[in-house]
Structure 1
Amino acid sequence: MTAIIQCLRVWRHYLLGATFIVKTDNIATSYFQSQKKLSPKQARWQDFLAEFDYVLEYDYAGCMDSRKSTSGYIFLLAGGVVSWRSGKQSLTATSTMEAEFVSCFEATSHGVWMKSFISGLKVVDSISRPLKIFCYNSAAVFMAKNNKSGSRSKHIDINYLAIRERVKAKTVVIEHISTELMIADHLTKGMPP
Protein backbone atom coordinates (compact mmCIF):
# COMPACT_ATOMS: atom_id res chain seq x y z
CA MET A 1 0.00 0.00 0.00
CA THR A 2 2.83 2.39 0.79
CA ALA A 3 4.21 1.85 -2.70
CA ILE A 4 0.83 2.77 -4.20
CA ILE A 5 0.65 5.94 -2.12
CA GLN A 6 4.20 6.87 -3.07
CA CYS A 7 3.51 6.28 -6.78
CA LEU A 8 0.36 8.38 -6.69
CA ARG A 9 2.24 11.18 -4.92
CA VAL A 10 5.08 11.18 -7.42
CA TRP A 11 3.02 10.69 -10.59
CA ARG A 12 -0.17 12.61 -9.71
CA HIS A 13 0.64 15.45 -12.13
CA TYR A 14 0.98 13.01 -15.04
CA LEU A 15 -2.16 11.02 -14.18
CA LEU A 16 -4.66 13.87 -14.50
CA GLY A 17 -7.69 12.60 -16.37
CA ALA A 18 -6.44 9.01 -16.39
CA THR A 19 -8.56 6.13 -15.16
CA PHE A 20 -6.82 3.32 -13.37
CA ILE A 21 -7.67 0.54 -10.93
CA VAL A 22 -5.57 -0.26 -7.88
CA LYS A 23 -5.83 -3.86 -6.68
CA THR A 24 -4.50 -4.86 -3.28
CA ASP A 25 -4.87 -7.82 -0.95
CA ASN A 26 -5.64 -5.47 1.98
CA ILE A 27 -2.81 -7.01 4.04
CA ALA A 28 -0.81 -3.79 3.86
CA THR A 29 -3.91 -1.74 4.56
CA SER A 30 -4.88 -3.76 7.63
CA TYR A 31 -1.28 -3.69 8.89
CA PHE A 32 -1.13 0.07 8.45
CA GLN A 33 -4.39 0.47 10.40
CA SER A 34 -3.47 -1.94 13.20
CA GLN A 35 -0.36 -0.04 14.25
CA LYS A 36 -0.75 1.58 17.66
CA LYS A 37 2.08 4.00 16.94
CA LEU A 38 2.90 5.06 13.42
CA SER A 39 6.44 5.52 12.23
CA PRO A 40 7.33 9.04 11.04
CA LYS A 41 7.04 7.85 7.44
CA GLN A 42 3.61 6.28 8.03
CA ALA A 43 2.48 9.42 9.85
CA ARG A 44 3.51 11.51 6.83
CA TRP A 45 1.46 9.23 4.54
CA GLN A 46 -1.49 9.52 6.87
CA ASP A 47 -1.12 13.32 6.82
CA PHE A 48 -0.74 13.20 3.01
CA LEU A 49 -4.07 11.40 2.66
CA ALA A 50 -5.79 13.58 5.25
CA GLU A 51 -5.02 16.92 3.57
CA PHE A 52 -7.55 17.93 1.00
CA ASP A 53 -9.22 21.16 0.02
CA TYR A 54 -11.60 22.50 -2.59
CA VAL A 55 -11.39 25.59 -4.69
CA LEU A 56 -14.56 26.57 -6.51
CA GLU A 57 -15.52 29.03 -9.19
CA TYR A 58 -18.71 30.10 -10.95
CA ASP A 59 -19.66 32.08 -14.03
CA TYR A 60 -22.90 33.99 -13.51
CA ALA A 61 -25.44 33.47 -16.33
CA GLY A 62 -22.67 32.23 -18.60
CA CYS A 63 -24.87 30.19 -20.96
CA MET A 64 -26.34 32.52 -23.57
CA ASP A 65 -29.25 30.18 -24.38
CA SER A 66 -30.54 29.26 -20.91
CA ARG A 67 -28.81 32.03 -18.87
CA LYS A 68 -27.73 29.37 -16.37
CA SER A 69 -24.50 29.83 -14.49
CA THR A 70 -21.48 27.55 -14.80
CA SER A 71 -19.97 25.98 -11.67
CA GLY A 72 -16.49 24.61 -11.40
CA TYR A 73 -14.41 23.20 -8.59
CA ILE A 74 -11.06 21.54 -8.08
CA PHE A 75 -10.43 18.96 -5.38
CA LEU A 76 -6.87 19.02 -4.00
CA LEU A 77 -5.29 16.22 -2.00
CA ALA A 78 -1.92 17.07 -0.46
CA GLY A 79 -1.45 19.86 -2.99
CA GLY A 80 -2.27 17.78 -6.08
CA VAL A 81 -5.47 17.82 -8.13
CA VAL A 82 -7.42 14.57 -7.76
CA SER A 83 -10.92 15.58 -8.85
CA TRP A 84 -12.51 18.44 -10.74
CA ARG A 85 -15.81 19.40 -12.32
CA SER A 86 -17.09 22.09 -14.62
CA GLY A 87 -20.73 22.19 -15.65
CA LYS A 88 -23.93 24.15 -16.00
CA GLN A 89 -25.96 24.62 -12.82
CA SER A 90 -29.38 22.98 -12.63
CA LEU A 91 -31.18 26.24 -11.82
CA THR A 92 -31.11 29.75 -13.18
CA ALA A 93 -29.51 31.90 -10.48
CA THR A 94 -30.90 35.38 -9.96
CA SER A 95 -27.71 36.82 -8.49
CA THR A 96 -23.97 36.20 -8.36
CA MET A 97 -24.33 35.33 -4.66
CA GLU A 98 -26.86 32.62 -5.49
CA ALA A 99 -24.67 31.20 -8.27
CA GLU A 100 -21.67 31.03 -5.91
CA PHE A 101 -23.80 29.60 -3.08
CA VAL A 102 -25.00 26.79 -5.38
CA SER A 103 -21.36 26.15 -6.37
CA CYS A 104 -20.47 25.92 -2.67
CA PHE A 105 -23.26 23.40 -2.15
CA GLU A 106 -22.12 21.25 -5.09
CA ALA A 107 -18.50 21.33 -3.93
CA THR A 108 -19.35 20.45 -0.33
CA SER A 109 -21.60 17.59 -1.44
CA HIS A 110 -18.80 16.11 -3.52
CA GLY A 111 -16.27 16.86 -0.77
CA VAL A 112 -18.29 15.06 1.90
CA TRP A 113 -18.58 12.06 -0.43
CA MET A 114 -14.84 12.17 -1.19
CA LYS A 115 -14.00 12.33 2.53
CA SER A 116 -16.23 9.32 3.16
CA PHE A 117 -14.66 7.46 0.22
CA ILE A 118 -11.10 8.08 1.44
CA SER A 119 -12.06 7.02 4.97
CA GLY A 120 -13.75 3.93 3.49
CA LEU A 121 -10.48 2.86 1.90
CA LYS A 122 -9.29 2.39 5.50
CA VAL A 123 -5.83 3.67 4.70
CA VAL A 124 -6.31 6.18 7.51
CA ASP A 125 -8.52 5.74 10.56
CA SER A 126 -10.47 8.90 9.90
CA ILE A 127 -10.07 12.39 8.59
CA SER A 128 -10.76 14.70 11.49
CA ARG A 129 -9.93 17.97 9.78
CA PRO A 130 -12.96 19.67 8.20
CA LEU A 131 -13.08 20.24 4.45
CA LYS A 132 -11.82 23.67 3.50
CA ILE A 133 -13.83 25.36 0.75
CA PHE A 134 -12.34 28.52 -0.76
CA CYS A 135 -14.91 30.94 -2.16
CA TYR A 136 -14.35 34.49 -3.40
CA ASN A 137 -17.91 35.80 -3.10
CA SER A 138 -18.09 37.27 0.40
CA ALA A 139 -21.92 37.33 0.36
CA ALA A 140 -22.02 33.57 -0.32
CA VAL A 141 -19.47 32.96 2.47
CA PHE A 142 -21.60 35.05 4.85
CA MET A 143 -24.79 33.22 3.83
CA ALA A 144 -23.17 29.82 4.37
CA LYS A 145 -21.83 30.74 7.81
CA ASN A 146 -24.94 32.53 9.13
CA ASN A 147 -28.52 31.46 9.53
CA LYS A 148 -29.90 34.73 8.18
CA SER A 149 -31.83 35.28 4.98
CA GLY A 150 -32.49 38.63 3.38
CA SER A 151 -35.07 39.66 0.84
CA ARG A 152 -32.70 38.68 -2.00
CA SER A 153 -32.02 35.17 -0.68
CA LYS A 154 -35.41 33.96 0.61
CA HIS A 155 -36.17 32.15 -2.64
CA ILE A 156 -33.09 29.87 -2.54
CA ASP A 157 -34.16 26.24 -2.48
CA ILE A 158 -33.93 24.47 0.86
CA ASN A 159 -31.66 21.79 -0.67
CA TYR A 160 -28.87 24.32 -1.03
CA LEU A 161 -29.25 25.51 2.57
CA ALA A 162 -27.88 22.14 3.76
CA ILE A 163 -24.46 23.75 3.49
CA ARG A 164 -25.27 25.71 6.66
CA GLU A 165 -25.71 22.46 8.60
CA ARG A 166 -22.35 21.21 7.34
CA VAL A 167 -20.66 24.45 8.43
CA LYS A 168 -22.41 24.33 11.83
CA ALA A 169 -21.35 20.67 12.32
CA LYS A 170 -17.77 21.69 11.40
CA THR A 171 -17.70 19.15 8.58
CA VAL A 172 -16.93 22.02 6.22
CA VAL A 173 -15.14 25.34 6.66
CA ILE A 174 -15.79 28.03 4.06
CA GLU A 175 -13.10 30.67 3.67
CA HIS A 176 -12.94 33.77 1.53
CA ILE A 177 -10.15 33.93 -1.06
CA SER A 178 -9.19 36.74 -3.41
CA THR A 179 -9.88 36.36 -7.11
CA GLU A 180 -6.16 36.56 -7.89
CA LEU A 181 -5.56 33.33 -5.94
CA MET A 182 -8.52 31.44 -7.46
CA ILE A 183 -7.09 28.42 -9.31
CA ALA A 184 -10.47 27.12 -10.50
CA ASP A 185 -11.14 30.24 -12.58
CA HIS A 186 -10.33 28.57 -15.90
CA LEU A 187 -13.04 25.92 -15.36
CA THR A 188 -15.83 28.43 -15.93
CA LYS A 189 -14.46 30.50 -18.77
CA GLY A 190 -15.05 29.61 -22.39
CA MET A 191 -12.22 28.98 -24.80
CA PRO A 192 -11.58 31.87 -27.20
CA PRO A 193 -12.70 31.23 -30.81
Structure 2
Amino acid sequence: MWPHAVRHATVARNHVLTKCKWLAKIKTDEKGEPSVYKSRLVAKGFQQKEKEDYKEVFAPNCYKAIYGLKQAPRCWYNRLASALEGIGFRASACDESLFLMGEGESLVLLLVYVDDILLFSSSDKEIDGVQQKLTEQFKCKSLGEARYYLGMHIERDTERGWLKLHQGQYINTLAEKYSLQEERLGEGNVFLSCFADATWASEHEDSSSVGGYICMVGGGPVSWRSKKQSETALSSVESEYMAMFHAAKEMIWLRRLLKEIGHEQTCATPLFSDSKGAIAMARNAVLHGLNKHMRIKWHWLRKEVKLGTLDPIYVKTQQQPADFLTKRLAEEPHWRCVRMAGMSLN
Protein backbone atom coordinates (compact mmCIF):
# COMPACT_ATOMS: atom_id res chain seq x y z
CA MET A 1 0.00 0.00 0.00
CA TRP A 2 1.03 3.62 -0.45
CA PRO A 3 3.07 4.97 2.49
CA HIS A 4 1.07 7.04 4.99
CA ALA A 5 -2.20 5.96 3.35
CA VAL A 6 -3.54 4.29 6.49
CA ARG A 7 -2.68 4.44 10.17
CA HIS A 8 -4.29 3.39 13.44
CA ALA A 9 -6.58 5.98 14.99
CA THR A 10 -8.83 6.33 18.01
CA VAL A 11 -12.50 6.35 17.06
CA ALA A 12 -14.29 9.45 18.29
CA ARG A 13 -17.29 9.00 20.54
CA ASN A 14 -20.60 8.53 18.67
CA HIS A 15 -18.70 8.53 15.38
CA VAL A 16 -20.02 6.26 12.62
CA LEU A 17 -17.29 4.39 10.76
CA THR A 18 -17.37 3.85 7.01
CA LYS A 19 -16.61 0.20 6.37
CA CYS A 20 -14.22 -1.07 3.69
CA LYS A 21 -13.75 -4.18 1.59
CA TRP A 22 -11.26 -5.59 -0.91
CA LEU A 23 -12.15 -5.84 -4.60
CA ALA A 24 -10.20 -8.04 -7.01
CA LYS A 25 -10.16 -7.39 -10.75
CA ILE A 26 -8.51 -8.92 -13.80
CA LYS A 27 -7.65 -6.37 -16.50
CA THR A 28 -7.46 -7.61 -20.07
CA ASP A 29 -5.42 -6.47 -23.06
CA GLU A 30 -6.62 -5.63 -26.57
CA LYS A 31 -6.98 -9.36 -27.33
CA GLY A 32 -9.15 -9.99 -24.31
CA GLU A 33 -6.39 -11.90 -22.52
CA PRO A 34 -5.61 -11.29 -18.79
CA SER A 35 -2.78 -8.77 -18.45
CA VAL A 36 -2.94 -7.34 -14.91
CA TYR A 37 -4.27 -8.74 -11.64
CA LYS A 38 -5.32 -5.96 -9.29
CA SER A 39 -6.76 -5.72 -5.81
CA ARG A 40 -8.10 -2.52 -4.27
CA LEU A 41 -9.25 -1.49 -0.84
CA VAL A 42 -12.50 0.40 -1.33
CA ALA A 43 -14.81 2.19 1.06
CA LYS A 44 -18.53 1.45 1.21
CA GLY A 45 -19.45 4.99 0.26
CA PHE A 46 -23.15 4.18 0.00
CA GLN A 47 -23.18 4.18 3.81
CA GLN A 48 -22.09 7.83 3.96
CA LYS A 49 -24.53 10.66 4.61
CA GLU A 50 -24.06 14.08 3.08
CA LYS A 51 -22.99 16.84 5.52
CA GLU A 52 -22.55 14.21 8.24
CA ASP A 53 -19.79 12.01 6.81
CA TYR A 54 -18.49 14.24 4.02
CA LYS A 55 -18.53 17.73 2.53
CA GLU A 56 -16.08 19.00 -0.09
CA VAL A 57 -13.15 17.69 1.96
CA PHE A 58 -12.80 14.39 3.75
CA ALA A 59 -12.32 13.44 7.38
CA PRO A 60 -8.81 14.00 8.79
CA ASN A 61 -8.26 10.29 9.52
CA CYS A 62 -8.48 9.40 5.81
CA TYR A 63 -5.12 10.35 4.36
CA LYS A 64 -5.89 9.11 0.85
CA ALA A 65 -9.19 9.47 -1.05
CA ILE A 66 -9.71 5.75 -1.60
CA TYR A 67 -12.18 4.25 -4.06
CA GLY A 68 -15.76 4.17 -2.88
CA LEU A 69 -15.87 7.38 -0.86
CA LYS A 70 -18.39 9.93 -2.08
CA GLN A 71 -15.74 12.64 -2.13
CA ALA A 72 -12.97 10.52 -3.68
CA PRO A 73 -13.53 11.55 -7.33
CA ARG A 74 -13.49 15.24 -6.42
CA CYS A 75 -10.39 14.90 -4.25
CA TRP A 76 -8.50 13.04 -6.96
CA TYR A 77 -9.58 15.41 -9.72
CA ASN A 78 -8.55 18.48 -7.71
CA ARG A 79 -5.15 16.93 -6.99
CA LEU A 80 -4.54 15.95 -10.61
CA ALA A 81 -5.85 19.23 -12.05
CA SER A 82 -3.59 21.19 -9.71
CA ALA A 83 -0.58 19.16 -10.83
CA LEU A 84 -1.44 19.57 -14.52
CA GLU A 85 -1.94 23.31 -14.18
CA GLY A 86 1.42 23.46 -12.42
CA ILE A 87 3.18 22.08 -15.50
CA GLY A 88 1.37 24.35 -17.94
CA PHE A 89 -1.94 22.68 -18.82
CA ARG A 90 -5.32 24.42 -18.82
CA ALA A 91 -8.69 22.72 -18.47
CA SER A 92 -10.97 22.76 -21.50
CA ALA A 93 -13.86 25.18 -21.22
CA CYS A 94 -16.14 22.51 -22.72
CA ASP A 95 -15.04 19.36 -20.91
CA GLU A 96 -13.11 19.37 -17.64
CA SER A 97 -11.69 15.93 -18.35
CA LEU A 98 -9.75 17.42 -21.28
CA PHE A 99 -6.60 19.48 -20.68
CA LEU A 100 -4.63 21.47 -23.26
CA MET A 101 -1.10 22.89 -23.35
CA GLY A 102 0.63 24.92 -26.04
CA GLU A 103 -0.70 25.52 -29.54
CA GLY A 104 0.03 24.72 -33.16
CA GLU A 105 2.72 22.09 -33.67
CA SER A 106 3.44 21.99 -29.94
CA LEU A 107 -0.20 21.46 -28.89
CA VAL A 108 -0.61 18.67 -26.33
CA LEU A 109 -4.02 17.21 -25.48
CA LEU A 110 -4.43 15.22 -22.27
CA LEU A 111 -7.60 13.22 -21.68
CA VAL A 112 -8.41 11.90 -18.20
CA TYR A 113 -10.78 9.16 -17.14
CA VAL A 114 -10.30 8.63 -13.38
CA ASP A 115 -6.61 7.64 -13.33
CA ASP A 116 -6.29 6.54 -16.97
CA ILE A 117 -4.56 9.27 -18.97
CA LEU A 118 -4.27 9.54 -22.75
CA LEU A 119 -1.79 11.98 -24.35
CA PHE A 120 -2.03 13.39 -27.88
CA SER A 121 0.58 15.49 -29.68
CA SER A 122 2.36 15.66 -33.01
CA SER A 123 5.61 16.15 -31.07
CA ASP A 124 7.22 13.16 -29.32
CA LYS A 125 9.40 15.61 -27.40
CA GLU A 126 6.36 17.30 -25.87
CA ILE A 127 4.84 13.95 -24.85
CA ASP A 128 8.10 12.78 -23.26
CA GLY A 129 8.35 16.04 -21.33
CA VAL A 130 4.83 15.73 -19.94
CA GLN A 131 5.37 12.10 -18.96
CA GLN A 132 8.57 12.98 -17.11
CA LYS A 133 6.87 15.75 -15.15
CA LEU A 134 3.95 13.50 -14.23
CA THR A 135 6.20 10.71 -12.95
CA GLU A 136 7.88 13.25 -10.67
CA GLN A 137 4.57 13.79 -8.84
CA PHE A 138 2.72 10.49 -9.24
CA LYS A 139 3.55 6.81 -9.24
CA CYS A 140 2.66 5.98 -12.83
CA LYS A 141 4.01 4.22 -15.88
CA SER A 142 3.91 4.77 -19.62
CA LEU A 143 2.35 2.04 -21.75
CA GLY A 144 3.87 3.43 -24.95
CA GLU A 145 1.88 4.13 -28.08
CA ALA A 146 -1.85 3.98 -27.35
CA ARG A 147 -3.36 0.77 -28.67
CA TYR A 148 -6.06 0.01 -26.09
CA TYR A 149 -7.86 2.54 -23.88
CA LEU A 150 -11.02 2.09 -21.79
CA GLY A 151 -12.05 -0.94 -23.79
CA MET A 152 -11.40 0.81 -27.12
CA HIS A 153 -8.91 -0.40 -29.69
CA ILE A 154 -6.78 2.34 -31.27
CA GLU A 155 -5.29 1.72 -34.70
CA ARG A 156 -3.47 4.21 -36.90
CA ASP A 157 -1.47 4.40 -40.10
CA THR A 158 0.77 7.47 -40.15
CA GLU A 159 1.80 6.91 -43.76
CA ARG A 160 -1.76 6.94 -45.08
CA GLY A 161 -2.93 9.41 -42.41
CA TRP A 162 -5.83 7.61 -40.79
CA LEU A 163 -6.87 6.84 -37.23
CA LYS A 164 -9.39 4.20 -36.24
CA LEU A 165 -11.16 3.74 -32.90
CA HIS A 166 -13.27 0.67 -32.36
CA GLN A 167 -14.48 -1.77 -29.71
CA GLY A 168 -14.06 -4.91 -31.75
CA GLN A 169 -13.55 -7.28 -28.85
CA TYR A 170 -16.48 -5.87 -26.89
CA ILE A 171 -18.76 -5.74 -29.94
CA ASN A 172 -17.94 -9.31 -30.90
CA THR A 173 -18.83 -10.42 -27.38
CA LEU A 174 -22.18 -8.61 -27.52
CA ALA A 175 -22.87 -9.77 -31.08
CA GLU A 176 -22.34 -13.36 -30.03
CA LYS A 177 -24.48 -12.91 -26.93
CA TYR A 178 -27.42 -11.26 -28.71
CA SER A 179 -26.95 -12.79 -32.20
CA LEU A 180 -26.32 -9.40 -33.81
CA GLN A 181 -23.98 -8.91 -36.75
CA GLU A 182 -24.33 -5.14 -37.28
CA GLU A 183 -21.12 -3.10 -37.49
CA ARG A 184 -20.55 0.57 -36.97
CA LEU A 185 -19.60 2.93 -39.78
CA GLY A 186 -17.22 5.74 -38.83
CA GLU A 187 -15.76 7.49 -41.87
CA GLY A 188 -15.87 11.07 -43.09
CA ASN A 189 -14.58 14.56 -42.42
CA VAL A 190 -14.85 16.38 -39.11
CA PHE A 191 -18.14 18.03 -40.05
CA LEU A 192 -20.90 18.51 -37.48
CA SER A 193 -24.61 18.09 -38.14
CA CYS A 194 -27.66 17.27 -36.06
CA PHE A 195 -31.13 15.75 -36.45
CA ALA A 196 -33.96 16.61 -34.03
CA ASP A 197 -37.41 15.06 -33.81
CA ALA A 198 -40.35 14.82 -31.40
CA THR A 199 -43.74 13.24 -30.91
CA TRP A 200 -46.71 15.21 -29.62
CA ALA A 201 -48.78 14.19 -26.58
CA SER A 202 -47.64 10.60 -27.03
CA GLU A 203 -47.52 9.85 -23.29
CA HIS A 204 -51.08 8.89 -22.36
CA GLU A 205 -50.65 9.46 -18.61
CA ASP A 206 -49.87 13.19 -18.78
CA SER A 207 -50.10 14.06 -22.51
CA SER A 208 -46.42 14.95 -22.57
CA SER A 209 -44.21 14.63 -25.65
CA VAL A 210 -40.96 12.81 -26.30
CA GLY A 211 -38.04 14.55 -27.98
CA GLY A 212 -34.79 13.20 -29.34
CA TYR A 213 -31.72 14.23 -31.28
CA ILE A 214 -28.61 12.74 -32.86
CA CYS A 215 -25.46 14.81 -33.38
CA MET A 216 -23.18 13.47 -36.10
CA VAL A 217 -19.50 14.07 -36.83
CA GLY A 218 -18.10 12.69 -40.06
CA GLY A 219 -21.13 10.52 -40.66
CA GLY A 220 -21.16 8.84 -37.24
CA PRO A 221 -23.19 9.62 -34.09
CA VAL A 222 -21.23 11.23 -31.24
CA SER A 223 -24.06 12.48 -29.02
CA TRP A 224 -27.73 11.55 -28.75
CA ARG A 225 -30.69 11.88 -26.43
CA SER A 226 -34.20 10.53 -26.03
CA LYS A 227 -36.23 12.07 -23.21
CA LYS A 228 -39.75 13.01 -22.23
CA GLN A 229 -40.19 16.78 -22.44
CA SER A 230 -40.68 18.43 -19.06
CA GLU A 231 -43.17 21.02 -20.35
CA THR A 232 -46.44 20.11 -22.02
CA ALA A 233 -46.47 21.15 -25.67
CA LEU A 234 -49.77 22.52 -26.97
CA SER A 235 -49.07 21.55 -30.58
CA SER A 236 -46.83 19.28 -32.62
CA VAL A 237 -44.94 22.34 -33.87
CA GLU A 238 -44.21 23.34 -30.29
CA SER A 239 -42.88 19.89 -29.31
CA GLU A 240 -40.67 19.81 -32.44
CA TYR A 241 -39.40 23.30 -31.64
CA MET A 242 -38.44 22.27 -28.11
CA ALA A 243 -36.61 19.23 -29.50
CA MET A 244 -34.64 21.58 -31.78
CA PHE A 245 -33.85 23.77 -28.76
CA HIS A 246 -32.27 20.89 -26.82
CA ALA A 247 -30.38 19.72 -29.91
CA ALA A 248 -29.06 23.24 -30.47
CA LYS A 249 -27.64 23.40 -26.93
CA GLU A 250 -25.68 20.21 -27.53
CA MET A 251 -24.51 21.48 -30.93
CA ILE A 252 -23.13 24.68 -29.42
CA TRP A 253 -21.10 22.63 -26.93
CA LEU A 254 -19.81 20.32 -29.66
CA ARG A 255 -18.81 23.29 -31.85
CA ARG A 256 -16.77 24.72 -28.99
CA LEU A 257 -15.14 21.37 -28.26
CA LEU A 258 -14.23 20.79 -31.92
CA LYS A 259 -12.75 24.29 -32.08
CA GLU A 260 -10.59 23.62 -29.03
CA ILE A 261 -9.10 20.49 -30.56
CA GLY A 262 -8.38 22.16 -33.88
CA HIS A 263 -11.50 21.42 -35.95
CA GLU A 264 -13.38 24.72 -35.92
CA GLN A 265 -16.68 24.67 -37.82
CA THR A 266 -16.39 27.49 -40.36
CA CYS A 267 -20.04 27.52 -41.40
CA ALA A 268 -23.44 27.20 -39.75
CA THR A 269 -24.16 23.74 -38.38
CA PRO A 270 -27.19 22.16 -40.09
CA LEU A 271 -30.04 21.29 -37.74
CA PHE A 272 -32.43 18.95 -39.55
CA SER A 273 -36.12 18.72 -38.62
CA ASP A 274 -39.16 17.22 -40.33
CA SER A 275 -41.39 20.05 -39.06
CA LYS A 276 -41.72 23.03 -41.41
CA GLY A 277 -43.66 24.90 -38.74
CA ALA A 278 -40.89 24.51 -36.14
CA ILE A 279 -38.27 25.62 -38.68
CA ALA A 280 -40.36 28.70 -39.54
CA MET A 281 -40.68 29.48 -35.83
CA ALA A 282 -36.89 29.22 -35.42
CA ARG A 283 -36.31 31.63 -38.30
CA ASN A 284 -39.13 34.09 -37.62
CA ALA A 285 -39.12 36.15 -34.39
CA VAL A 286 -42.68 37.44 -34.84
CA LEU A 287 -44.99 36.40 -31.99
CA HIS A 288 -48.39 35.04 -32.87
CA GLY A 289 -51.09 32.85 -31.39
CA LEU A 290 -49.10 29.63 -31.78
CA ASN A 291 -46.03 30.66 -29.81
CA LYS A 292 -46.58 33.85 -27.82
CA HIS A 293 -47.30 31.82 -24.69
CA MET A 294 -43.97 29.96 -24.86
CA ARG A 295 -41.26 30.76 -22.34
CA ILE A 296 -38.54 33.13 -23.50
CA LYS A 297 -35.82 30.51 -23.01
CA TRP A 298 -37.08 28.48 -25.96
CA HIS A 299 -36.50 31.44 -28.28
CA TRP A 300 -32.76 31.45 -27.58
CA LEU A 301 -32.73 29.16 -30.60
CA ARG A 302 -33.74 32.08 -32.83
CA LYS A 303 -30.76 34.07 -31.64
CA GLU A 304 -28.32 31.33 -32.63
CA VAL A 305 -29.98 31.02 -36.05
CA LYS A 306 -29.72 34.77 -36.56
CA LEU A 307 -26.03 34.71 -35.56
CA GLY A 308 -25.37 32.10 -38.22
CA THR A 309 -24.34 29.41 -35.75
CA LEU A 310 -27.16 27.05 -36.71
CA ASP A 311 -29.08 26.49 -39.92
CA PRO A 312 -32.51 24.81 -39.57
CA ILE A 313 -33.14 22.60 -42.61
CA TYR A 314 -36.25 20.63 -43.51
CA VAL A 315 -35.93 16.88 -44.04
CA LYS A 316 -38.66 14.37 -44.80
CA THR A 317 -39.71 11.99 -42.04
CA GLN A 318 -38.38 9.07 -44.09
CA GLN A 319 -34.94 10.73 -43.99
CA GLN A 320 -35.05 11.56 -40.26
CA PRO A 321 -32.71 9.23 -38.27
CA ALA A 322 -33.85 10.68 -34.92
CA ASP A 323 -37.35 9.30 -35.51
CA PHE A 324 -36.60 6.07 -33.61
CA LEU A 325 -35.59 8.08 -30.52
CA THR A 326 -39.11 9.42 -30.06
CA LYS A 327 -41.29 6.32 -30.39
CA ARG A 328 -41.30 2.62 -31.05
CA LEU A 329 -41.13 1.86 -34.76
CA ALA A 330 -41.80 -1.19 -36.86
CA GLU A 331 -38.80 -3.28 -37.86
CA GLU A 332 -38.20 -1.79 -41.31
CA PRO A 333 -38.30 1.94 -40.33
CA HIS A 334 -36.30 1.17 -37.18
CA TRP A 335 -33.40 -0.33 -39.13
CA ARG A 336 -33.69 2.46 -41.68
CA CYS A 337 -33.04 4.94 -38.86
CA VAL A 338 -30.13 2.83 -37.63
CA ARG A 339 -28.55 2.92 -41.08
CA MET A 340 -29.12 6.66 -41.50
CA ALA A 341 -27.53 7.26 -38.08
CA GLY A 342 -24.33 5.65 -39.34
CA MET A 343 -24.55 2.59 -37.11
CA SER A 344 -24.79 -0.06 -39.82
CA LEU A 345 -22.92 -1.00 -42.99
CA ASN A 346 -25.98 -2.69 -44.50
What pairs up with 1:12-161 in 2 under 5 angstroms? Answer: 23-28=118-123, 48-49=189-190, 51-120=191-260, 122-124=261-263, 126-161=264-299
Counterparts in 2 of 1:68 and 1:85: CA distance versus 1, 3 Å: same
1:128 to partner: Cα distance: 1.2
Aligned pair in 2 of structure 1 residues 25, 92: CA closer, same or farther (>3 Å)? Answer: same
Name the counterpart of 1:6: none
Amino acid aligned to 1:148 = V
- Opposite residue 298 of structure 2, the aligned amino acid is Y
How much does 1:27 deviate?
Answer: 4.2
Question: Bigger relative contact order, structure 1 or 2, given CA contacts below 8 A and separation 6+?
Answer: 1
For residue 96 of structure 2, what is the aligned residue in structure 1? Answer: none
Q: What residue in structure 2 maps to residue 188 of structure 1? A: 326
Instruction: Report deviation, 1:23.
Output: 1.1
**Displacement of 1:123:** 3.0
- Hey, which of these two has a bigger chunk of helix by percent? 1
Moved over 6 A (4+): none
Identify the structure with the greater strand proportion. 2
2: CA distance, partners of 1:180 / 1:136: 9
Distance of 1:109 and 1:28 partners within structure 2: 34
TM-align CA RMSD: 2.5
Deviation at 1:168, TM superposition (A): 0.3
- Structure 1, unpaired ranges of 5+: 1-19, 32-39
Does the aligned pair in 1 maintain the 2:192–2:265 contact within 8 Å? Answer: no
Q: Deviation of residue 190 (structure 1)?
A: 3.0
Cα deviation, residue 191, structure 1: 6.7
User: Structure 2: where are the runs of 5+ without partners?
Assistant: 1-112, 127-159, 163-187, 331-346
TM-score (norm 2): 0.42
Q: Which amino acid aligns with 1:185?
A: D
C-alpha contact (below 8 Å) 2:208/2:231 kept by paired residues: yes
Query: What is the identity, as a one-letter code, of the residue corresponding to 1:77?
Result: V
Please give the alpha-carbon distance, in whole angstroms, between the structure 2 residues aligned to 1:22 and 1:80. 25
Separation (CA, whole Å) in 1 of partners of 2:123 and 2:306: 36
| Whole-angstrom distance in 2 between the partners of 1:171 and 1:123 | 18
3-state secondary structure, aligned to 1:23: strand
Q: State, as a whole percentage, how many aligned pairs show the same letter.
A: 26
